[in-house]
Amino acid sequence: MTTVDGVQPAWHDWIVTNLRRGCNRQSMIESMVQAQFDAAFASTCIECIAKDMKNGASSRLSPSEPYRYEAGRIASGNIIALSDFTVKVAFRLNRPDVVLLEGFMSNAECDELVALSRQKLLPSTIVDPQSGDTKIIAARSSEGTYFQRGENELVRRLERRMSELMNWPVERGEGIQILYYRVGAEYRPHFDYFPVQDPGSAPHLAKGGQRVATLVMYLNDVADGGGTFFPNIGLNVTPLCGSALYFAYANSMSQVDPATLHGGSPVLAGEKWIATKWLRQNQYGG
Residues that bind ligand PD2 (CB under 6 A): 179, 187, 192, 216, 228, 262, 264, 274, 276
The item of Zn ion, ligand PD2, none sharing an interface with residue 216, based on CB under 5 to 8 Å by kind, is ligand PD2
Q: Nearer to ligand PD2 by C-beta: 101 or 179?
A: 179
Q: Minimum distance between the CB of residue 276 and Zn ion, rounded to whole angstroms?
A: 7
The item of ligand PD2, Zn ion, none sharing an interface with residue 276, based on CB under 5 to 8 Å by kind, is ligand PD2
Cα maximum dimension of the chain: 59
Q: Nearer to Zn ion by C-beta: 2 or 276?
A: 276
Q: Minimum distance between the CB of residue 106 and ligand PD2, rounded to whole angstroms?
A: 20
Q: Minimum distance between the CB of residue 8 and ligand PD2, rounded to whole angstroms?
A: 23
Contact 109, 273 (CB under 8 A): no
- Residue nearest Zn ion, CB atom distance: 192
CA-to-CA distance for 236 and 226, rounded, in angstroms? 9
Q: Nearer to ligand PD2 by C-beta: 29 or 245?
A: 245
User: Cα-flanking dihedrals φ and ψ of residue 127, to 5°?
Assistant: -90, 125
Nearest residue to 104 via CA among 133, 127, 80: 80
Residue 5: exposure state from Cβ atoms within 10 A (0-12, 13-18, ≥19): exposed
The item of ligand PD2, Zn ion, none sharing an interface with residue 274, based on CB under 5 to 8 Å by kind, is ligand PD2
Q: Minimum distance between the CB of residue 276 and ligand PD2, rounded to whole angstroms?
A: 5
